[in-house]
Amino acid sequence: MSDIHYRFIESKHELNEYFDRLIECSKLALKKTGEHGITCEILMGQMIRYVETGYGCLLLGFDIKGELVGFLFGVLIKSSTGSWVEVTALWSKPGIASAVKFEAFNLLCQWAKARNATKILACVSRSPDVFYEFFYKALGFKRVGYLLEAKL
């Protein structure tokens, strides 16, 4: 067990408490990964839209000083063939994600199962082979597709 304290954000009031810091963290995340299909504005808009609906999972991680050191945001998708969670954004200070990946992923899985989701999808655009081996594989993820991009 790590020294990280987790908190699910479930209201716009709670989101407002951390909004400015989440913008900063989102920009840091997107600076590393690139804006492949999402911008900071779109991500923050999704958080606002979904936080109170039961379809948005916003999990924050805090160190023992109470500083935000990581977040995970996912959206529950329901269709006629089933339900799943798409992880839209994941950010942490260096070294945090690898140290708490099992704890945080377990919390995400509990949240998803409570909403009858049967899988979790994540798109990796930054060094996908490296991050798959280093981070996602141990969590049970399998490669199932490609991120495709056409330059204009």
- Cα(40)–Cα(28) distance, integer angstroms: 10
Asked if residue 75 lies in contact with residue 16, where contact means CB atoms within 8 angstroms, the answer is no
The per-residue pLDDT for 33 is 64
If we measure between CA atoms, which residue out of 4, 133, 3 comes closest to residue 60?
Answer: 4
Cα four-point dihedral sign 125, 128, 133, 134: negative
Q: Which residue has the tokens 């600076």?
A: 31
Q: Going from the first residue of the chain to its last (152 residues), give the mean pLDDT of each consecutive group of 10, the final group possibly shorter.
A: 90 97 90 70 94 97 96 96 93 92 96 97 80 89 82 82
DSSP letter, residue 134? I
For the beta carbon of residue 37, count every other beta carbon within 10 angstroms. 11
Whole-number Å distance between alpha carbons of 115 and 98: 26
- Report CA Rg, the chain: 15
> Can you say whether residue 140 is alpha, beta or left, with left for phi > 0 and alpha for psi between -120 and 50 degrees?
left
pTM, entire model: 0.89
Strands 56-62 and 68-79: antiparallel
What pLDDT score does 96 carry? 93
Identify the CA nearest to 121 among candidates 102, 100, 136, 99.
Answer: 136
For the chain, strand residue ranges (E) read: 5-9, 56-62, 68-79, 82-92, 120-122
